[in-house]
Chain A
Amino acid sequence: MSILAYNGGAVVAMKGKDCVAIATDKRYGIQAQTVSTNFPKVYQIGPSLFVGLPGLATDTQTVYQRLKFRMNLYELKENRIMRPKTFSAMLSNLLYERRFGPYFIEPVIAGLDPIDNQPYVCNMDLIGCPNEPEDFVVSGTCTDQLYGMCEALWEPDLKPDELFETISQALVNAADRDAISGWGAVVYVIEKDKITEKHVKTRMD
């Protein structure tokens, strides 16, 4: 097993009509053993900005803490909310600073721009190369399965409740074909004035 597969996990984010959704599994495991079923990898970092940090669990926590630190300083100095594209650039910089001894995280970003309300999703590799597609992003130990599910289920301009169903089915069915992802799921749907957090019931094996 590789270092990125030591703890396991899966995160996916999708764009919809004036909304975005991001979903994570809740497993915390050490190789094949499941230690906890309450370890979501997605954190809220701004009023309409979420980041998913699948990979090595210790780095999930550390990168989140360092990210929050940089975000807080930015918001204090600039006196405004950070836009998703800027956050993406900041995270990319944080990861590339560790180019030759990287954090074992392949992050996913999802948010709505606070100024023009455009949906934004982004993912990157462990040294910060960003990818900003128009549809969906995936990361974790079941990316092959996730790509298959997303490619089949996603269509443009899904409304929030449709997007919720689509992203939930994509995550759950992909994780059910991965021995080290799953054991519960959390889905966030982000709209202009509303954020819904739903804990999805999944197989616990």
Chain B
Amino acid sequence: MAASVVDTYSDPNMSWMNAPHSTGTSIMACEFDGGVVIGADSRTTTGAYIANRVTDKLTKITDHIYCCRSGSAADTQAIADIVTYHLNFHKMELGEQPLVQTAAAIFRELCYNYRDSLVAGILVAGWDKKRGGQIYSVPIGGMVQRQAVSIGGSGSSYVYGYVDANFKPKMTKEEAKKFVTNTLTLAMLRDGSSGGVVRLGVISEAGVERSVILGDQLPKFYEG
């Protein structure tokens, strides 16, 4: 998550300092046999200052649909609130729990139509009775892509290899939680804009169970 700040030492003429706006975060979602596991770090930065070290980037949209937010904190919070409103209304009209695909479509409408004004990379993840556990990635620009496993945020660059090497379809819930925890820990180790604790969510037919893994309980990797 990043908020803008004026840096008194910046020289706009030096192009290497005008690096692209960082979506400081590490987020992830992973399908398992019976639902999805979602995870995120807990760091919000204002420039290099850590404004919040215990942020919750896993936001409830409905009882069975959550989203993982990366990019501008303000933009993603506003979008999530609007989607929650629309989906609530839709649920009442429909008379049953809305589909994850519907939530993803509403996210897409906002992220695509306002693409010039927004900086938002979102993972929509949840469970519905038509298709079970699903993950829809809605990156900056507003495309939608269903994936079995998806990572996002600035920290994700460091863990594409790890995810490709270690993901297996039809994992158990515990295997999936371990996989997400390990991946996010590795991302937090390398990415300055990610850190704090690992927040997890497990979404299945039963609903959502949230958990937190504190810094000293994270898995240990080579720190050379």
**B contacts, CB < 8 Å to A:** 7, 9-10, 17, 19, 22, 24, 41, 43, 45, 47-50, 53, 154, 158, 188-196, 215, 223-224
- Return the contact of A8 from the options B17, B19, B48, B50 (Cβ within 8 A): B48
Q: Name the contact of B215 in the complex, choosing from A2, A37, A205 (C-beta under 8 A).
A: A205
A204 within 8 A of B: yes
Say yes or no: A179-B49 contact (C-beta < 8 A), given A33-B191, A203-B195, A205-B215: yes
Please give, as numbers and ranges, the residues of chain B lying within 8 Å of A142 by CB-CB distance. 48
Are B48 and A205 within 8 A (Cβ)? no
Q: How many contacts A-B (CB < 8 Å)?
A: 76
Q: Which of A4, A32, A144 contacts B192 (CB 8 A)?
A: A32
Name the CB-closest residue of B to A35. Answer: B190
Main secondary structure of the interface of A (DSSP, over half): loop
Given known pairs A1-B17, A205-B215, the reply for A177 and B192 (CB within 8 Å) is: no
Q: Give chain A nearest CB distance to B1 CB in angstroms.
A: 11
| Interface hits, A1-16 → B, CB 8 Å | 1-5, 8
Query: Is the pair A180, B48 in contact by a Cβ cutoff of 8 Å?
Result: yes
Which residues from A are CB-within-8-Å of B215? 203, 205
The answer on a CB contact under 8 Å between B223 and A178 is no
Check if A33 sits within 8 Å of B190, measured CB to CB. yes
- The residues of B that contact A8 with a CB separation of less than 8 Å are 48, 192
Contact residues in A for B17 (Cβ distance below 8 Å): 1-3
Is B53 in contact with A34, judged by CB distance below 8 angstroms? no
**Could you tell me the distance in whole angstroms from the C-beta of B207 to the nearest C-beta in chain A?**
30
Residue pair A29, B53 in contact (C-beta under 8 Å)? no
Q: Does A31 contact B (CB under 8 A)?
A: yes
| Interface assignment of A36: CB less than 8 Å from any CB of chain B | yes
| B196 and A31 within 8 A (CB) | no
A-B residue pairs in contact (CB < 8 Å), sample of 7: A2-B10, A8-B48, A144-B49, A176-B50, A178-B49, A179-B24, A205-B189
Do residues B192 and A29 form an inter-chain contact, with CB atoms below 8 A? yes
Q: A37-B224, A178-B49, A205-B188 are in contact. List 8 more A-B contacts (CB 8 A).
A: A1-B17, A1-B47, A8-B48, A32-B193, A36-B224, A144-B49, A205-B43, A205-B195
